[in-house]
Amino acid sequence: MTVRFDNTAQDRRVRVLGEPVESYPRLAPEVQRGSVRRITVVGEEILRRRCLEVTRFGTPELSHLIDDMFATNQVAEGAGLAANQVDVDLQLFVWDITDEWGVRHVGHIANPVLTEVPAGERRLVEESEGCLSVPGPYRMVPRLDRAVVRGRDKDGAPLVIEGRGYFARCLQHETDHLRGQLYLDRLAQRERKAALREMAASKDGMFARRAAVAEKLGK
């Protein structure tokens, strides 16, 4: 399945796994089914190693994990969430994000691989970026404004997801997670240390906010 972004301005329908749908609820169905898990924080070892490939598809366990990741991402008010951010060593991430053109993108992908964008189509954009595993600080991070990710859905069917702008940033950010990389690694040392200091000062407030959202959702 592929979403093309040539006609984004004309077609504002929600994209689920890259395909436009006629209607979609405010809360993804996975959020309703899922349970909230603890989000890992920078310094935990699982965030620093390449995750294992998903090899078993179509299982209840994989579906439950995806549901829990959606619920956790919703409570944390995130755009996307990788499996190692809920302490699971698998190449899997989910997203629920609205881009600059007002198009909402919802989905999951296993074993994602970023496709090389042709040199003539590469444009680097520096914008503010944060991370649920680095609660609090945001920093300017350069990313390509277009991304193509190939992988599989929970049943093993091939997926090709294309994004631009903020959605492209999300696809790159989450794929980085599964390779053991954080956005902090793209910062100069001084900026990285400042971000960590800011996190230390703000994380308790962020955790309290997440708990309040969870309670409101009955999670």
Active site residue 162: no
Sign of CA dihedral 58, 174, 208, 98: negative
* HSE, side-chain direction, 13 A CA sphere, residue 92: 27
d(CA 140, CA 126) in angstroms, rounded, equals 6
d(CA 107, CA 117) in angstroms, rounded, equals 22
d(CA 184, CA 30) in angstroms, rounded, equals 29
**Exposed / middle / buried, residue 7 (Cβ in 10 Å: 0-12, 13-18, 19+):** exposed
Q: What pairs with residue 105 in β-bridges?
A: 15, 97
Of the candidates 19, 53, 174, 191, the residue annotated as catalytic is 174
Is residue 71 within 8 Å of residue 36, measured between CB atoms? yes
Is residue 159 within 8 Å of residue 17, measured between CB atoms? yes
- Per DSSP, helices labelled H in 113-188 are 165-178
Active site residues: 174
